[in-house]
Amino acid sequence: MKIKVIIHQAEEGGYWAEVPAIPGCLTQGDSWEELIKNIYEAVEACLSVDVEKIKIKPSDKIMDVAI
């Protein structure tokens, strides 16, 4: 899966990014490398679901998917 990320230069230095497909998914970094790392972490965090609060039947399966 590919997700578009909009990257902005921050007025105070560094960068910040937003993921329009995931409302509220924002991150920042002082360097380009830090921003890229933080984008992956932010997307993963925004897409995380606490499966303990979901009722799971014995026949259900849980699968991790890399995007």
Q: What is the pLDDT of residues 39-51, one digit of tens each?
A: 999 999 998 866 5
Pairing of strands 15-18, 6-9: antiparallel
Separation of alpha carbons 18 and 42, rounded Å: 9
CA 44, 47, 52, 53 torsion-angle sign: positive
pLDDT classification of 67: cutoffs 50, 70, 90: low
Give the residue extent of every domain in the chain.
6-53
DSSP 4-51: --EEEE-TTSSEEEE-TTSTT-EEEESSHHHHHHHHHHHHHHHH---G
Whether the full predicted model's pTM is greater than 0.85, yes or no, is: no
